[in-house]
Amino acid sequence: MKSAVQLYNFRDELKNDFKGTLRRIAALGVDGVEFAGNYGGIPPIELADFLRELNLECAGTMFKADNLLNPENIAYQYAEVLHTPTVTISAFIDFASEYGKLRKTCMEIGRIAERHGTVFSYHNHWLEFTKIDGVPAMERILENTSPANVFLEPDVCWLTRAGVNPSDYLRKYARRIRQIHMKDIRVPDNPETTCELGRGVVDLKGACKAAADTSCEWLIYEQDYAKDPFESATVSIEFLKNLLKNI
DSSP 3-state of 236: helix
Please state, in angstroms and rounded to a whole number, the distance separating the CA atoms of residues 188 and 201. Answer: 8
Q: What is the pLDDT of residue 107?
A: 98
- The strand pair at 32-35 and 57-62 is best described as parallel
Q: Are 226 and 232 in contact (CB under 8 A)?
A: yes
| Amino acid (1-letter code) at residue 85 | P
Bridge partners of residue 220, in order along the sequence: 4, 181
Domain count, the chain: 1
| Residue 121 to residues 43, 58, 157, Cα–Cα distance (Å) | 24, 15, 17
Cβ atoms within 10 Å, residue 127: 18
The region, left, alpha or beta by phi > 0 then psi within -120 to 50, assigned to residue 31 is alpha
- The strand pair at 179-182 and 151-153 is best described as unpaired
Backbone angles phi, psi at 173, to 5 degrees: -110, 35
Report the sign of the C-alpha dihedral through residues 145, 146, 147, 152, in that order. Answer: negative
Output the tens digit of pLDDT for each of the chain's 247 residues: 999 999 999 999 999 999 999 999 999 999 999 999 999 999 999 999 999 999 999 999 999 999 999 999 999 999 999 999 999 999 999 999 999 999 999 999 999 999 999 999 999 999 999 999 999 999 999 999 999 999 999 999 999 999 999 999 999 999 999 999 999 999 999 988 999 999 999 999 999 999 999 999 999 999 999 999 999 999 999 999 999 998 8
Domain that holds residue 130: 2-245
Q: pTM here?
A: 0.97
Q: Write the CATH number for 17.
A: 3.20.20.150
